[in-house]
A and B are shown apart, each in its own frame.
Chain A
Amino acid sequence: MLKISKWNILFVLSVCLTAIYYILPNLYGKSEVTALPKFFSQKQVNLGLDLQGGSHLLLEVDTKSVLKEKSEDLVDDVRRALRKSKIKYSNLGSKITGAVVTITNSEKIDQAKKNIQENIEKGVSIDVSKNKLSLFFTEQYIIDSRVRTVEQSIEVVRKRVDESGTKEPSIQRQGDERIVVQLPGIKNPERVKALIGRTAKLNFHMLDPTTVELAEQRGKLPPGTFKALNADPTAYEKQFVVKKRVLLTGERLKNAAATVDAQTGRYVVAFEFDNKGAKKFSKITTDNTYQRLAILLDNKVISAPQIREPITGGQGNISGNFSPETANDLAVLLRAGSLPAPIKVLEERTVGPSLGIDSIEAGKKALMIGFILVIVFMILRYKAFGVVADFAIIFNVILLIAMLSAIEATLTMPGIAGIVLTIGMAVDANVLVFERIKEEIRSGRSIFNSIDLGYKFAIKTILDANFTTLIAALLLYNYGSGPIKGFAVTLSIGIVTSMFTALVLTKLIITFWVLKLKPKRLFI
């Protein structure tokens, strides 16, 4: 039976009020909302990167390279342990995740194993077969190492992004070894990308007095050295012969900043070591006075100054061929520290601010016009009932935006398309009811009964039909990314709210109308 219960009215009213509560903050700017009293909702719909402009980057951390490095360290450890205990060995080498060695005297194998075990880190297990030892990292060790590498990388990336002055960046881990970086409103993504992608491993070596030309004449490099390129390809010295031993690393840096050198007037990066680093640096510069230091960034020489006097204060300058920007970028990189493993950009999506603004404008226009077209059409087709349905459509959009605000959803361009589409599709529930009412009236029932039956019959169909669309929307949400997710969100919320407006709201209005005015004919 058609009737109006107090609960029904209360329910509809509370939904309306909640909707208004959540929709209000969207009328204000972000800063204004935070200034409002606590009583008000602070939640707003976020604009996606495609609407406000910005960059989305998907990065991959090459965690395998860390294991490779560790395998090489392991080889060193094994060599040291065996030499110390004077056990003869051969065929020492690294594998992808571990090392192998053959012990010459197979009787000493157990002793060798014991000595090695004492000299290496935990998390390495050793297999013995005849006179061969196989060392490999345990599964747990590999997982831990991967987790740590990715976490450290996220930390470093975050520091670098923060230092670059990007507002409200989002940096999140995705899957095992991926990082998603979102940079809203960014003006120069190329610079930030260059900052993020650099490994920025800073190493201090000594330069070998042998020049590259001399080494080439001799046909070989002096033992314990390697050839390194100059980071500035336009410089006079293209290559250097650098001693392999790393004397000091960037990890010991306390601070770095771009400044102008008072004497030369050129841009330099001033750095400062921590206590331990300062002591080491003091020793290096004392032992090697008048020799040339080699400062390597990612295995390229950025500066090779001569040590004129021992530097005991732990401070120094790197003078390369810097512009203000490159000096500043290097300072940022040194402050943020180096990445534990190389990072690769797998995916980038950048939207410029002008396209974002255009998209919002286009979205608004399409929304308004779609709205008007559907509203007019509904009135033409269903007359008075059309007005009721139109009321439902308007309320549907209000509810949709309120829900989006309440869950602080991100609105994207496909999301706006989803709202427009919802306007067209959301009338479906009302149409189903209205058509059914018409049918019942045609079959000779009273107005009252027709409306009652119309709702009763249509409700099952509406639930069935909308459920399947929801399945599609939910799968899209699950599998979609970024903008597409935004579409799935607006579509699914639109479906749910349209069921509410059609089955509860318009039913209440129509029932009220029929009960109060008792019309003789239905204008439908």
Chain B
Amino acid sequence: MNFNINFFKYRFTAFVFSIVLIGFSAFLFLNKSLNLGIDFKGGIMVEAKFPDVPDLTVLRNKIDNLQIGNSEIQEFGDPSTILFRLEKIDKDNITQEEIIEKLKSELDEDTDYRRVEFVGPKVGKELKLVAIKAVLFSLIAMFIYIWFRFSGWQFGLGALIALFHDVLSTIGFFSLTQIEFNLASIAAILTIAGYSINDTVVVFDRIRENLVKSEKQLEELLNLSINQTLSRTLMTSITTLLALAALFIFGGEVVKGFVSAMIWGVLIGTYSSIFIASPLILLFGFKQIRDKS
């Protein structure tokens, strides 16, 4: 395929779209917040498979009668599998083991406990810090790498803003869908960051190459570079999406949240490297870069 699309015609539309997207994400994050999993919030999570499909209202009453703090009950994958999420109550007279025991004693004897997880408030706080560090450090590391590799802060900053764009809108995605935000979500965010920057680098590389070869108008040159790499960008996105689709449909409940975020990330990452990262360079005073090369 030989593309010749004038992407720069759409750049303002794209900017407006992205600003609205980020604004909406921020709005969601501030208002609906994230559905934090026990990894960060602390608490107890029990995934139980019942021999028969249980009645959720009966279950809820049973749990409420236990008086073990706030609880959430939801179907997980199929109607007979239920996910319990219990908030850790800060009382010294009851340990989380006792809470888990209490819960188990209320449920059918031949219930299959598929997962029992407990994260103490201390560990939850630590994991939160670790997650923030991991995301920040990787963004910084990528920014520095691009800056050096392309010997121009314009490239680095363009890539960085595109990255923030992707990360923020992915957080918005988590907030909108209320998919549980846990350690796997951090893995998703970092992988999205890696994927998006990968796309951006391919376009940047072509821009750099064309800068040396051609005397075209800068705008035209950027457009040419994006078009030249477009079929590769689409191909890789499609194969990655195919693999993700297989994971989404067949990979089981445990990875579903992670995979949905990744699907969103591949789409937004592809979009941002075409419509955000490259046009931004033009905005940042691309002229100097040309003089340099």
The answer to whether the Cβ of B177 comes within 8 Å of any Cβ in the partner chain is no
Mark interface residues in B176-195 (1 if CB within 8 Å of A CB, else 0): 00000001101100110111
The answer to whether the Cβ of A267 comes within 8 Å of any Cβ in the partner chain is no
Residue among A190, A367, A420, A479 with max Cβ neighbours from chain B (10 Å): A479
Partner of A413, one of B118, B239, B255: B255
The answer to whether the Cβ of A447 comes within 8 Å of any Cβ in the partner chain is no
The answer to whether the Cβ of A351 comes within 8 Å of any Cβ in the partner chain is yes
Residues of A342-390 whose CB lies within 8 A of B: 344-352, 354-355, 358-359, 362-363, 365-367, 369-370, 373-374, 377-378, 381
The answer to whether the Cβ of A104 comes within 8 Å of any Cβ in the partner chain is no
CA A464 to CA B206, docked complex, whole Å: 12
B184 and A414 contact, CB distance less than 8 A: yes
Question: With contacts A346-B123, A369-B246, A476-B134 known, is A468 near B241, CB below 8 A?
Answer: no
Stretch at the interface among A124-132, A289-297, A484-492: A484-492
Question: Closest chain A residue to B259 by CB distance?
Answer: A417
Partner of A468, one of B100, B131, B146, B240: B146
CA A377 to CA B137, docked complex, whole Å: 36
Collect the chain B residues with CB atoms within 8 Å of residue A381's CB.
Answer: 235
B201 and A346 contact, CB distance less than 8 A: no
Partner of A354, one of B112, B117, B119: B112
CA A413 to CA B131, docked complex, whole Å: 20
Collect the chain A residues with CB atoms within 8 Å of residue B183's CB.
Answer: 480-481, 483-484
Instruction: Say whether chain A's binding surface is mostly helix, strand, loop, or mixed.
Output: helix
A355 and B187 contact, CB distance less than 8 A: no
A428 and B236 contact, CB distance less than 8 A: yes
CA A469 to CA B130, docked complex, whole Å: 19
Collect the chain B residues with CB atoms within 8 Å of residue A352's CB.
Answer: 112-116
Collect the chain A residues with CB atoms within 8 Å of residue B243's CB.
Answer: 370, 373-374, 420-421, 423-425
The answer to whether the Cβ of B247 comes within 8 Å of any Cβ in the partner chain is yes
The answer to whether the Cβ of B231 comes within 8 Å of any Cβ in the partner chain is yes
The answer to whether the Cβ of B232 comes within 8 Å of any Cβ in the partner chain is yes
The answer to whether the Cβ of A225 comes within 8 Å of any Cβ in the partner chain is no
Collect the chain B residues with CB atoms within 8 Å of residue A468's CB.
Answer: 142, 145-146, 194, 197-198, 201
Mark interface residues in B113-143 (1 if CB within 8 Å of A CB, else 0): 1111111101100010011011001100110
Question: Closest chain B residue to A351 by CB distance?
Answer: B115
A471 and B194 contact, CB distance less than 8 A: yes
Partner of B117, one of A350, A428, A479: A350
The answer to whether the Cβ of B49 comes within 8 Å of any Cβ in the partner chain is yes
CA A481 to CA B123, docked complex, whole Å: 12
B201 and A355 contact, CB distance less than 8 A: no
B241 and A424 contact, CB distance less than 8 A: yes
Question: Closest chain B residue to A349 by CB distance?
Answer: B117
Collect the chain B residues with CB atoms within 8 Å of residue A480's CB.
Answer: 134, 183, 186-187
A392 to chain B, nearest CB (A): 12
The answer to whether the Cβ of A432 comes within 8 Å of any Cβ in the partner chain is yes
B240 to chain A, nearest CB (A): 4
Collect the chain B residues with CB atoms within 8 Å of residue A472's CB.
Answer: 138, 142, 190-191, 193-194
The answer to whether the Cβ of A467 comes within 8 Å of any Cβ in the partner chain is yes
Residues of A456-488 whose CB lies within 8 A of B: 457, 460-461, 464-473, 475-476, 478-481, 483-484, 487-488
The number of A-B residue pairs with CB atoms under 8 Å apart is 219
Residue among A381, A476, A488, A491 with max Cβ neighbours from chain B (10 Å): A476
Collect the chain B residues with CB atoms within 8 Å of residue A460's CB.
Answer: 205
Partner of B198, one of A197, A370, A428: A428
The answer to whether the Cβ of B282 comes within 8 Å of any Cβ in the partner chain is no
B195 and A469 contact, CB distance less than 8 A: yes
A366 and B251 contact, CB distance less than 8 A: yes
Mark interface residues in B243-275 (1 if CB within 8 Å of A CB, else 0): 111110111101100110010000000000000
B123 and A347 contact, CB distance less than 8 A: yes
The answer to whether the Cβ of A244 comes within 8 Å of any Cβ in the partner chain is no
Question: With contacts A424-B239, A469-B195, A475-B141 known, is A189 near B116, CB below 8 A?
Answer: yes
The answer to whether the Cβ of A194 comes within 8 Å of any Cβ in the partner chain is yes
The answer to whether the Cβ of A193 comes within 8 Å of any Cβ in the partner chain is yes
CA A521 to CA B258, docked complex, whole Å: 44
Collect the chain A residues with CB atoms within 8 Å of residue B142's CB.
Answer: 468, 471-472
B131 and A479 contact, CB distance less than 8 A: yes
The answer to whether the Cβ of A427 comes within 8 Å of any Cβ in the partner chain is yes
B238 and A377 contact, CB distance less than 8 A: yes
B137 to chain A, nearest CB (A): 6
The answer to whether the Cβ of A520 comes within 8 Å of any Cβ in the partner chain is no
Collect the chain A residues with CB atoms within 8 Å of residue B116's CB.
Answer: 189, 348-350, 352
CA A300 to CA B231, docked complex, whole Å: 74
The answer to whether the Cβ of A439 comes within 8 Å of any Cβ in the partner chain is yes
A424 and B244 contact, CB distance less than 8 A: yes
The answer to whether the Cβ of A330 comes within 8 Å of any Cβ in the partner chain is no
A58 and B247 contact, CB distance less than 8 A: no
A357 to chain B, nearest CB (A): 10
A491 and B191 contact, CB distance less than 8 A: yes
The answer to whether the Cβ of A12 comes within 8 Å of any Cβ in the partner chain is no
The answer to whether the Cβ of A431 comes within 8 Å of any Cβ in the partner chain is yes
CA A273 to CA B251, docked complex, whole Å: 56
B252 and A421 contact, CB distance less than 8 A: no
Collect the chain B residues with CB atoms within 8 Å of residue A363's CB.
Answer: 251-252
Collect the chain B residues with CB atoms within 8 Å of residue A467's CB.
Answer: 145
Question: With contacts A345-B97, A369-B246, A424-B244 known, is A374 near B252, CB below 8 A?
Answer: no
B141 and A365 contact, CB distance less than 8 A: no
Question: Closest chain A residue to B133 by CB distance?
Answer: A479
Residues of B189-243 whose CB lies within 8 A of A: 190-191, 193-195, 197-199, 201-202, 205-206, 209, 228-229, 231-232, 235-236, 238-243
Residues of B68-122 whose CB lies within 8 A of A: 95-97, 100-101, 112-120, 122
Mark interface residues in B41-52 (1 if CB within 8 Å of A CB, else 0): 000000101000
B198 to chain A, nearest CB (A): 4
Collect the chain B residues with CB atoms within 8 Å of residue A370's CB.
Answer: 242-243, 245-247
A346 and B190 contact, CB distance less than 8 A: no
A493 to chain B, nearest CB (A): 14
Q: List 22 A-B contacts (CB under 8 A).
A: A58-B123, A190-B101, A346-B123, A348-B117, A350-B115, A355-B114, A358-B114, A358-B252, A363-B252, A365-B250, A370-B247, A373-B243, A420-B244, A465-B201, A472-B142, A473-B191, A476-B190, A476-B191, A478-B134, A479-B134, A487-B187, A491-B191
The 4 closest A-B pairs by CB, nearest first: A424-B243, A362-B252, A370-B246, A472-B194
* Other A-B pairs beyond A374-B243, A468-B201, A481-B127, 4, CB < 8 Å: A352-B112, A427-B236, A435-B229, A487-B184
Residues of A within 8 A of B (CB): 50, 58, 189-190, 193-194, 197, 344-352, 354-355, 358-359, 362-363, 365-367, 369-370, 373-374, 377-378, 381, 413-414, 416-417, 420-421, 423-425, 427-428, 431-432, 435, 439, 442, 457, 460-461, 464-473, 475-476, 478-481, 483-484, 487-488, 491
Residues of B within 8 A of A (CB): 2, 47, 49, 95-97, 100-101, 112-120, 122-123, 127, 130-131, 133-134, 137-138, 141-142, 145-146, 149, 183-184, 186-187, 190-191, 193-195, 197-199, 201-202, 205-206, 209, 228-229, 231-232, 235-236, 238-247, 249-252, 254-255, 258-259, 262
